């Protein structure tokens, strides 16, 4: 078994390095896929590739092309972890999830869904956002051994395309709250994450799927990778 990280980025220069370093120990290998950035994102990607042996950097034409980069893993004993450049996962929690994956705890599940906090305000290291659940949960941690057919157009969507799976989801929210969940993430999508002026953070925040539940406050220090 192995865990493969796929980090898909575009104009994510402010949080990309932390997003990658937070999942370094969780993943056995990482591929960063970048499509058409206007800021320093490609330079950060190259620096990450140079600094870490397990990181590979590739440029793609559109985000949907990421689908072809994971096709080789379908039906194999591989967990694919899709991470965006604005997603900061809890490093200590991922250590627990990694141990559980290697122990076979989630072998019958196709996807694991953790907690997300859709951040809309940041003051120093303190952030505020809407929790998922009940808001949208974009966790992309897939058990590719459960994929029955890569070309079938049914069931689960992966990077804009669909594959047929024996789909069983595991929701950490059924057992854990935001504070104690081992799989949880700060989603920095709705605050500035790039110097590129046309990278508007608020467009999708208007969608109600990101604005459900009571506002939660979190400390970014709890999501920093301790080197």
Q: pLDDT (tens digit, 9 = 90+) per residue, 203-216?
A: 555 567 888 899 99
Residue 61 belongs to domain spanning: 2-223
- With beta carbons less than 8 A apart as the criterion, state whether 88 and 117 touch: no
Tell me the two tokens of residue 189: 């999508």
User: pLDDT tens for residues 152-179?
Assistant: 544 444 554 455 555 688 999 999 999 9
List Cα–Cα distances, 165 to 52, 123, 141, 145, 207, in angstroms.
33, 42, 14, 9, 29
The CATH number that applies at residue 8 is 3.90.550
In the predicted structure, residue 224 carries a pLDDT above the cut 90: no
Spatial distance between the Cα atoms of 127 and 120, rounded to a whole number of angstroms: 8
Tell me the two tokens of residue 26: 């969780």
Confidence (pLDDT) at 202: 54
Helical residues (DSSP H) of the chain, grouped into ranges = 16-22, 41-51, 66-70, 91-102
Spatial distance between the Cα atoms of 86 and 84, rounded to a whole number of angstroms: 5
Confidence (pLDDT) at 155: 47
Comparing C-alpha atoms, which of 77, 75, 103, 79 is closest to residue 6?
79
- With beta carbons less than 8 A apart as the criterion, state whether 37 and 9 touch: yes
Spatial distance between the Cα atoms of 119 and 117, rounded to a whole number of angstroms: 6
pTM > 0.95: no
Pairing of strands 87-89, 55-59: unpaired
> What's phi and psi for 167, nearest 5 deg?
-90, 115
Strand partners, 78: 2
Angle at 71 between CA 118 and CA 184, to 5 degrees: 20
Q: Tally the domains of the chain.
A: 1
User: pLDDT tens for residues 60-106?
Assistant: 876 667 777 888 898 899 999 999 999 999 999 999 999 999 999 99
- With beta carbons less than 8 A apart as the criterion, state whether 63 and 158 touch: no
């Amino acid at each position: 078994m192995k865990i493969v990280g796929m980090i898909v980025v575009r104009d994510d220069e402010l949080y990309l390095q932390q997003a990658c370093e937070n999942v370094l120990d969780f993943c056995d290998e990482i591929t960063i896929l970048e499509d058409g950035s206007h800021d320093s994102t490609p330079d950060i990607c190259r620096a990450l590739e140079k600094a870490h042996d397990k990181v590979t950097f590739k440029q793609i034409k559109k985000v949907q092309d990421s689908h072809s980069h994971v096709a080789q893993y379908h039906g194999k004993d591989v967990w694919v972890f899709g991470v965006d450049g604005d997603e900061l996962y809890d490093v200590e929690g991922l250590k627990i999830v990694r141990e559980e994956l290697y122990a076979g705890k989630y072998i019958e599940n196709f996807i694991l869904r953790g907690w997300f906090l859709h951040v809309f305000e940041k003051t120093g290291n303190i952030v505020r956002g809407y929790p998922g659940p009940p808001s949208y949960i974009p966790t992309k941690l897939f058990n590719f051994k459960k994929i029955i057919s890569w070309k079938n157009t049914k069931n689960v969507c992966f990077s804009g395309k669909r594959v047929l799976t024996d789909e069983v989801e595991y929701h950490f929210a059924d057992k854990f709250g935001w504070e104690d969940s081992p799989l949880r993430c700060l989603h920095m999508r709705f605050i500035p994450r790039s110097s590129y002026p046309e990278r508007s953070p608020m467009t999708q925040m208007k969608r109600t799927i990101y604005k459900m539940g009571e506002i939660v406050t979190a400390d970014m220090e709890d999501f920093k990778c301790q080197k």
